[in-house]
Amino acid sequence: MPAQGGLRFLSSDGAIKPTGTCLGASAGDFVFRRRHARHRSGEQCDPRQRGREERIRQAFTNTKVITESEDASLASRVRLTVFVTNMKRLRPLVNKIQEQLWASGPYPPRTILKVAKLNQDNIFEMEWTFFAPA
C-alpha cells in the first residue's frame, strides 16, 4: 500500500479480500492492527477445542511476525482489546497463549469483552496498538 505523508496501510496477505477493512495502519509513533480467528471445525480429536486454541494462537503469532517485521516487538504493545463470543471457553485459551508469548512480561494493558456477535463467523477478534517511534 502506498505511504501518504507518514501514513502507511497494510493490506491483507491472504486470498480472501476483507470487506470494508484492511489489516492495519502505521502512523506517526504508533501502529494500529486488527486480527481475528474464524469459527470452523478442526480435524483432530476433540476438534472444536483444539481448533479454537490453534486459531487464536495463529492470530497472535501472525501479529508477532508482522510486528517484528516492523522493527518492533510484542513488548511494545500498548493496548490490546479482545472481543470473544464465549468468555468461559475462550478467555482461558487467550490467557494461556498470552502467558506463552509474553513469558518475560510485562503484559499489555488488556480488556477482554464478550459481545453479542462478531463479524461473519469469527469467534475472536482483537484490536491492538503498538508503539514504534518514527
User: Which residue ranges make up the site for a second copy (CB under 8 A)?
Assistant: 1, 4-7, 9-11, 18-25, 27-30, 32-34, 75-81, 83, 87, 91, 94-95, 98-99, 102, 105-119, 125, 127, 129, 131, 133
Minimum CB–partner distance for residue 127 and a second copy (Å): 5
Residue closer to a second copy (CB basis): 44 or 87: 87
- Those residues with Cβ within 8 angstroms of residue 85's Cβ, 6 or more apart along the chain or in another chain: 114, 115, 117, 118, 122, 123, 124
Owner of C-alpha cell 468461559: 88
Query: Distance between CA 32 and CA 28 in Å, rounded?
Result: 11
Query: Distance between CA 67 and CA 90 in Å, rounded?
Result: 24
- Reported as type and span, the H/E element at residue 101 is helix 87-101
Minimum CB–partner distance for residue 42 and a second copy (Å): 24
Instruction: For residue 12, give the 3-state DSSP assignment.
Output: coil
Residue closer to a second copy (CB basis): 50 or 79: 79
Residue closer to a second copy (CB basis): 27 or 61: 27
Residue 117 cell numbers, joined: 456477535
Residue closer to a second copy (CB basis): 37 or 94: 94
Minimum CB–partner distance for residue 48 and a second copy (Å): 20
Minimum CB–partner distance for residue 50 and a second copy (Å): 21
